[in-house]
Amino acid sequence: MSRITVLARAVQVLAVCAALLPGTGLAAGVTLPNGSPEKATEYYKKLSKTLGIRTPDTVLSTNLDEVLAWLGYRGLATVDLENLSPEALMCLGAPTCGDVKLSSPTGLSQLLQQGPLRPGDILVSRFFAPKITNVAEAPEKRSVGFRKLIRLKAREGSEADKHFIESATLIFNYVTKPNEAPFAPGVRSFNTQLALVSSGYPRPDPSCRGEDCRPLLDSIYWMDFGASGQGAKLSLQLDASFDARGLQPLQAGKPAGIVSYYVPDGCDSCHGDPPPRLGRGVLNELDTDHWFDRVAPTDDFPQLAKNGIPVLTDGGNDQTSAQFARAFDVIRQLNKEYAEMQARVNPKSFHAAATTTWLRLHEQTRQHRPPIERAIAPALQGPGPGLQWVRSSSEDVELLGLLNRYCFRCHGSIRFSVFNKTEVARRRLDIRMRLRPKPAQAEIEGYQMPPDREIPPADLERLVTLVNNLPRVPE
């Protein structure tokens, strides 16, 4: 495989793993499905009928503002969600809130006409998102991803509520230049993802009769919206201009040969167990610890810490402050809700194990814990010898550190989690081969790992050696 192809491949997979994208498109040779425009169109039409969002004939021209109204938030516009501070959004409608101005002069009264807003109906968190950052760029030029996450409970009596949707989680995505503080006033999301969580999965008693009988619903309905500056219109596929800007340099003069990524297959690939079972997706843990790892002096984003740009935007840099506690507690609440959702939908998924582990660790502390303390315990691993990464082994500490830096970005949600030692040991040979493929294997697109960058030779050497030393476990 030529260097150009390798890099183009890296772009494809990186784009997928950016988790920004309408679909988990992976090109030929890679077994995650990437869907198609036809499938995505059909999906949205079906979703329209199931959830009562417009009609199948017109759903493709819907936008995020309409979906907000459908959730019971008429009056609150996309631009308000992006521009207002988390503090202002979370206290909307409360008498203590002060004077919050929405973009429409009648916005607030419209919003409150639909019933009172209860505390906790809206949760907001802004954070550094290494996931959506192109690590193949040189550190000094590396732009940095940030996300604003908003969880809205479907309001009582709304169309969403009538269609058994409990909540909507939105992710606005932003990329900043190196050294630039995120969330400058007026900056708009270039792509926005939405998960509508239903209360209809698993299906209640199938023999059920009468009013309580719910239709068979997916656990999550996925939607994706294009650039907010252009109306946050429903999109089937990636807004390619982001890739063109952020990733094109990698392609060494090739035109931006970016594959398209479509809902829903891709979303379920990372938001569910392998093989992805469509319709049984779960939300993914918000792993604050991993974000903090990545700004350490020896990791990929030391400039953030150096420039005093906080990992949790609203928490500031002092992990013992009340401000940090408030920001952290929003994430804690979200992860609690995710754990409940995961336990209901797919309790054995490794995604559920990850969330449970985060919650246990952060029951007592809000402070950053290092990778070795975050190992998945044997009890959460499912069948197998139940190996665990341990602090007393310097090899474990070193190997898990490398896997966390170079692989977790994808192998925290795709196929296996690097925090599960049994799953890593099981793949010992495969990992070794994929790190240093023979020429014939290197020809296979997507075979070589990691696909998003070249590992510095010294680190690669250590990875191979340490993986080699892992105990032998049946595959």
Q: Which residues form the interface with ligand HEC (CB under 6 A)?
A: 13-14, 16-17, 19, 21-24, 26, 30-32, 129, 131, 147, 149, 169, 171, 193-195, 222, 224, 263, 266-267, 269-271, 283-284, 286, 406-407, 409-416, 427, 430-431, 434, 446, 449-452
Q: How far is the CB of 194 from ligand HEC (least distance, A)?
A: 6
Structure tokens at 380: 């959460």
Q: Cβ contacts of residue 195 below 8 Å, gap of 6+?
A: 168, 169, 220, 221, 222, 267, 271, 281, 283
Q: How far is the CB of 13 from ligand HEC (least distance, A)?
A: 5
Nearest to 261 by CA among 72, 30, 65, 83: 30
The CA distances from residue 237 to 22, 25, 280, 293, in Å, are: 5, 10, 21, 32
Which residue number, 93 or 137, has a Cβ lying nearer to ligand HEC? Answer: 137
Write the Ramachandran bin of 52: left for phi over 0, alpha for psi from -120 to 50, otherwise beta. Answer: left
Burial class (CB in 10 A: 0-12, 13-18, 19+), 106: exposed
What distance in Å separates the CA atoms of residue 8 and residue 6, rounded to the nearest whole number?
5
Which residue number, 80 or 300, has a Cβ lying nearer to ligand HEC? Answer: 300
Which residue number, 77 or 400, has a Cβ lying nearer to ligand HEC? Answer: 400
Nearest to 26 by CA among 11, 44, 42, 41: 11
What distance in Å separates the CA atoms of residue 89 and residue 459, rounded to the nearest whole number?
44
- Are residues 270 and 22 in contact, defined by beta-carbon separation less than 8 angstroms? no
Which residue number, 154 or 414, has a Cβ lying nearer to ligand HEC? Answer: 414
What distance in Å separates the CA atoms of residue 157 and residue 159, rounded to the nearest whole number?
7
Q: Cβ contacts of residue 336 below 8 Å, gap of 6+?
A: 359
Which residue number, 128 or 324, has a Cβ lying nearer to ligand HEC? Answer: 128
Q: How far is the CB of 335 from ligand HEC (least distance, A)?
A: 9
- Are residues 123 and 333 in contact, defined by beta-carbon separation less than 8 angstroms? yes
Q: How far is the CB of 160 from ligand HEC (least distance, A)?
A: 15
Which residue number, 30 or 380, has a Cβ lying nearer to ligand HEC? Answer: 30
Q: How far is the CB of 402 from ligand HEC (least distance, A)?
A: 7
Which residue number, 11 or 102, has a Cβ lying nearer to ligand HEC? Answer: 11
- Are residues 410 and 346 in contact, defined by beta-carbon separation less than 8 angstroms? no
Which residue number, 35 or 107, has a Cβ lying nearer to ligand HEC? Answer: 35
What distance in Å separates the CA atoms of residue 188 and residue 229, rounded to the nearest whole number?
6
Which residue number, 71 or 195, has a Cβ lying nearer to ligand HEC? Answer: 195
Q: How far is the CB of 207 from ligand HEC (least distance, A)?
A: 33
The CA distances from residue 97 to 78, 91, 420, 437, in Å, are: 20, 6, 44, 59
The CA distances from residue 298 to 33, 293, 401, in Å, are: 35, 9, 11
Q: How far is the CB of 39 from ligand HEC (least distance, A)?
A: 13
Which residue number, 215 or 275, has a Cβ lying nearer to ligand HEC? Answer: 275
Q: How far is the CB of 191 from ligand HEC (least distance, A)?
A: 9
Q: Cβ contacts of residue 50 below 8 Å, gap of 6+?
A: 163, 215, 217, 221
Q: How far is the CB of 315 from ligand HEC (least distance, A)?
A: 16
Q: How far is the CB of 328 from ligand HEC (least distance, A)?
A: 15
Which residue number, 102 or 331, has a Cβ lying nearer to ligand HEC? Answer: 331
Q: How far is the CB of 438 from ligand HEC (least distance, A)?
A: 15
